[in-house]
């Protein structure tokens, strides 16, 4: 048996060796058996060149999640909740959830911006990653001036899987407080909802809840049934809260309109009766007016569907 030194036909890890067949012929056959010598050669081929390392570092820098204060343009050196400890943390992910918080919660008092998270991934529309302008802050954090222990987050960008952990670290920190209550609001398309009922009997939009073990209150809607799962950043936050034994609840709205839509936003209304949000709601008719105005300004005049 002769050991081949070079990879044959571009197969890595597969070496051609001479083998004897049943009939006595000697043929070259691919063989995955490797010896120590061959492993060393493999490593040489796979060792990273300096260029690879640099490219990887550049990519990591590009995809870094940066948390900063917009007014002072300084980066936060500790995690957001370490700097601004809170007892109530409300996160809205997605444009409908963000519109709901803007109209129903943020008009009830004076909210001060405490930070924003800037990040870049393939989903972002901007090309320039180093000089993201102030108007492109994607995740903005506010706290109520009259009660700074209430913190709100409006996240309207997509946070990719590799960035979710960084986002959690920068926002919650590595050792978060346990005595806070987290409420997450987000939307999902109803085609993702798996049920044994007929889909024509579903009245979209509808709300489902998923909570951590430490959340003791009754939720404002029915719980999400199996085998449905939650995806992306809401799932990351909820898992983080479950691991750190923080009381958290996610309200997921299944809708058939993924862009900004009045009926979808209004489907979140039952959440206003929950303990964490009840005290923050002041003026519902005014909120509805604000919401309507938000809809008309945001309506893209698309003529595809009539």
Partner 1 sequence: MASQYDRAITVFSPDGHLLQVEYAQEAVKKGSTVVGIRGADIVVLGVEKKSVAKLQDERIVRKICALDDHVCMAFAGLTADARVVINRARVECQSHKLTVEDPVTVEYITRFIATLKQKYTQSNGRRPFGISALIVGFDNDGIPRLYQTDPSGTYHAWKANAIGRSAKTVREFLEKNYTEDAIANDSEAIKLAIRALLEVVQSGGKNIELAIIGRKQPLKV
Part in contact with partner 1 (CB under 8 A); list of ranges 128-136, 174-182, 231-239, 293-301? 293-301
- Determine the Cα–Cα distance for residues 181 and 118; give it in Å rounded to an integer: 25
192 binds partner 1 (CB under 8 A): no
- d(CA 9, CA 28) in angstroms, rounded, equals 12
**If binding means CB under 8 A, how many residues of this protein chain bind partner 1?**
11
Closest CA to 187 of 260, 254, 270: 254
The single residue among 256, 282, 284, 289 that binds partner 1, judged by CB under 8 A, is: 256
Nearest Cα to Cα of residue 241 among 185, 177, 158: 177
**Helix (H) or strand (E) run with residue 270 in it:** none
Name the token pair of 174.
Answer: 């590595």
Please give the residues from 223 up to 242 whose contact with partner 1 meets the rule CB under 8 A: none
Output the six-digit token pair for 3: 């050991």
Neighbours of 213 (CB within 10 A): 10
> Does 196 sit near partner 1 (CB under 8 A)?
no
Strand 66-69 and strand 74-75: pairing? antiparallel
Beta strands, E only, 5-105: 15-20, 26-31, 66-69, 74-75, 88-93
Using the 8-state DSSP alphabet, how is residue 219 labeled? P
**Cross-strand pairs, 20:** 26
- Residue 303 CB, shortest distance to partner 1, in Å, is 6
Can residue 299 be called a binding residue for partner 1 (CB under 8 A)? yes
CB of 196 to partner 1, least distance (A): 13
Binding string, 201-220, against partner 1, x = CB under 8 A?
--x-----------------
The reply on whether position 49 binds partner 1 by CB under 8 A is: no
In the complex, minimum distance from the CB of residue 301 to partner 1, in angstroms, rounded to a whole number:
4
Q: Work out which of 31, 132, 235, 262 binds partner 1, going by CB under 8 A.
A: 262
Least distance in angstroms from the C-beta of 123 to partner 1: 20
Does 297 sit near partner 1 (CB under 8 A)? Answer: no
Q: Is residue 289 a contact residue for partner 1 (CB under 8 A)?
A: no
Residue 194 C-beta: closest distance to partner 1, Å: 11
**By C-beta, is 110 or 304 nearer to partner 1?**
304
Instruction: Give the Cα separation of 160 and 293 in Å (integer).
Output: 31
Do 178 and 246 touch, CB atoms closer than 8 A?
A: yes
Please identify, using beta-carbon distances, which residue of 17 and 262 lies nearer to partner 1.
Answer: 262
- Interface with partner 1 by CB under 8 A: which residues? 203, 256-257, 262, 296, 299, 301, 303-306
């Amino acid at each position: 048996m002769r050991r081949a030194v070079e990879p044959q036909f571009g197969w890595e890890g597969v070496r051609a060796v001479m083998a004897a067949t049943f009939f006595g012929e000697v043929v070259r056959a691919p063989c995955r058996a490797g010896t120590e010598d061959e492993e060393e050669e493999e490593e040489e081929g796979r060792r990273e060149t300096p260029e690879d390392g640099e490219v990887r570092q550049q990519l990591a820098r590009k995809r870094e999640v940066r948390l900063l204060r917009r007014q002072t343009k300084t980066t936060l050196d500790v995690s957001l909740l370490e700097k601004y400890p809170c007892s109530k943390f409300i996160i809205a992910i997605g444009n409908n959830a963000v519109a709901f918080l803007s109209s129903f919660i943020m008009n009830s008092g004076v909210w001060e911006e405490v930070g924003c998270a800037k990040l870049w991934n393939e989903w972002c529309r901007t090309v320039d990653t180093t000089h993201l302008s102030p108007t492109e802050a994607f995740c903005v954090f506010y706290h109520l001036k009259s009660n700074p222990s209430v913190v709100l987050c409006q996240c309207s960008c997509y946070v990719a899987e590799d960035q979710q952990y960084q986002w959690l670290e920068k926002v919650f920190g590595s050792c978060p407080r346990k005595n806070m209550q987290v409420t997450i609001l987000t939307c999902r398309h109803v085609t993702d909802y798996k049920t044994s009922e007929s889909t024509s009997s579903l009245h979209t939009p509808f709300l489902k809840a998923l909570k951590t073990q430490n959340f003791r209150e009754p939720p404002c809607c029915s719980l999400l049934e199996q085998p449905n799962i939650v995806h992306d950043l809401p799932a990351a936050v909820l898992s983080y809260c479950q691991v750190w034994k923080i009381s958290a609840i996610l309200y997921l709205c299944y809708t058939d309109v993924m862009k900004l839509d009045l009926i979808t936003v209004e489907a979140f209304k039952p959440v206003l009766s929950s303990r964490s949000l009840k005290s923050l709601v002041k003026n519902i008719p005014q909120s509805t007016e604000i919401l309507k105005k938000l809809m008309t300004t945001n309506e893209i005049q698309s003529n595809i569907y009539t």
